[in-house]
């Protein structure tokens, strides 16, 4: 019997079945990953698939399995930030490494024009993906509540603000990490402390500010706060405001590394020596932490591991696991020249 597939046309399911000596239904079960096929039969079908170069019709498979073999990584941020912040690169690497051995393809969804949340919700409701990971979400409007209530497996990169239903999430202990940074500044004799906080519509912004405030209050110190947006540009403007209002500061905790690098630049422009006059600590331990002069003391969070765990939990939820609890990872102080 002659078989096409290496230049004579697209091989079919029937041709695979004939070459493997099994029924079309058996080939279909093997292609769809059914556990109800004997190992020898699976091997025979896989040999036939390899010999013929057969490629399963993903659309037809989706009709049978109700799976698309695609998952979404949703980052409701402008593309300029997504592609410039090392945090997102680390999350993406972790997610990709976990999905690589599976059949799942990754779809990246960033903030639509004018913050069109309904467009995003329509896409996720439309059956285009099997599940979604939501990263860097902001507590605005009702979109987080709507995301959490979608009939779709969802995992969040931090606890979503204002969401009333239990959800699966993965994050670090941001409060404890911030406390570690501020306590370290105190241990080095710094007593005029300030912070550049992140946005207060994000869990990380709130929790890292809380950690700073707790330690400053416990130490009986006045608090100096300026707010940024986790970007270098926002950090620069916040550092200018903070130092204009509190030029006496001798220690600054900054809520992420990008804003901390901008703070170092502002201090240098003002002739303030780091760490002799002002000690600076960031948060993330991203790649930029070792590119500054001096190099940045920072709080390390295991970003790639967080991304990998987000993907692991999502795959488990797609497989039917009932996961609705947060997972919290520890942070670590990395001491370099800035403090």
- Contact assessment for residue 100 and residue 42, using Cβ atoms and an 8 Å cutoff: no
Task: Give the per-residue pLDDT at 81.
Answer: 83
Averaged confidence pLDDT in the chain? 88
Burial class (CB in 10 A: 0-12, 13-18, 19+), 15: buried
Residue 194 has pLDDT above 50, yes or no: yes
Token pair of 1, please?
């019997």
Residues 84-105: tens digit of each pLDDT: 889 999 999 999 999 998 878 8
Residues across the chain: 339
What pLDDT, on the 0 to 100 scale, is given for residue 149?
Answer: 82
Q: Look at 81 and 164; give whichever has higher pLDDT.
A: 81
Distance CA(281)–CA(299), nearest Å, equals 8
Give the Cα separation of 223 and 167 in Å (integer).
Answer: 34
| Averaged pLDDT for residues 133-142 | 79
Q: What is the pLDDT of residue 233?
A: 95
Domain residue ranges of the chain, discontinuous segments joined by +: 13-65, 70-172+304-328, 174-301
- DSSP letter for each residue of 202-234: SHHHHHHHHHHHHHHHHTT----EEE--SSHHH
Same fold: 13-65 with 70-172+304-328 = no
* Distance, CA of 180 to CA of 215 (rounded, Å): 9
CATH number of 174-301: 3.40.50.2300
Cα–Cα distance measured from residue 320 to residue 9, given in angstroms and rounded to the nearest whole number: 38
Is 13-65 CATH 1.10.260.40?
yes
Read off the pLDDT of each residue in 171-192 and give the average, rounded to a whole number. 97
CB atoms within 10 A of CB 161: 16
Domain 70-172+304-328 indexed as CATH 3.40.605.10: no
Which tens digit of pLDDT belongs to each residue from 278-313? 999 999 999 999 999 999 999 999 999 999 999 999
What is residue 121's predicted lDDT score, i.e. its pLDDT? Answer: 81
């Amino acid at each position: 019997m002659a078989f096409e597939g290496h230049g004579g046309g697209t091989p079919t399911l029937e041709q695979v079945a004939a070459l493997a000596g099994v029924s079309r239904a058996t080939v279909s079960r093997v292609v769809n990953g059914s556990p109800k096929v004997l190992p020898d039969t699976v091997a025979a079908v896989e040999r036939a698939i390899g010999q013929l170069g057969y490629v399963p019709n993903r659309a037809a498979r989706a009709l049978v399995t109700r799976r698309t073999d695609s998952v979404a990584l949703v980052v409701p941020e402008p593309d300029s930030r997504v592609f410039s912040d090392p945090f997102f690169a680390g999350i993406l690497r972790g997610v990709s490494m976990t999905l690589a051995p599976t059949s799942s393809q990754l779809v990246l969804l960033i903030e639509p024009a004018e913050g069109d949340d309904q467009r995003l919700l329509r896409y996720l409701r439309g059956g285009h993906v099997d599940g979604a990971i939501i990263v860097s979400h902001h507590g605005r409007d009702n979109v987080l509540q709507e995301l959490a209530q979608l009939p779709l497996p969802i995992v969040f990169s931090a606890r979503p603000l204002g969401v009333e239903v239990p959800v699966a999430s993965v994050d670090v202990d941001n409060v404890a990490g911030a406390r570690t940074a501020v306590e370290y500044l105190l241990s080095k004799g710094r007593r005029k402390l300030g912070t550049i906080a992140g946005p207060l519509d994000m869990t990380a912004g709130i929790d890292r500010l809380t950690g700073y405030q707790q330690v400053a209050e416990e130490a009986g110190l006045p608090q100096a706060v300026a707010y940024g947006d986790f970007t270098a540009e926002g950090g620069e403007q916040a550092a200018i405001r903070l130092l204009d209002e509190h030029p006496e500061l001798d220690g600054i905790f900054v809520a992420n590394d990008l804003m901390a690098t901008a703070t170092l630049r502002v201090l240098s422009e003002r002739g303030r020596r780091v760490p002799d006059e002002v000690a600076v600590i960031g948060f993330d331990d991203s790649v930029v932490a070792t590119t500054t002069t001096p190099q940045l003391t920072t709080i390390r969070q295991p970003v790639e591991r967080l991304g990998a765990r987000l993907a692991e939990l999502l795959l488990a939820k797609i497989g039917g696991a009932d996961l609705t609890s947060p997972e919290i990872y520890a942070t670590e102080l990395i001491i370099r020249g800035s403090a």
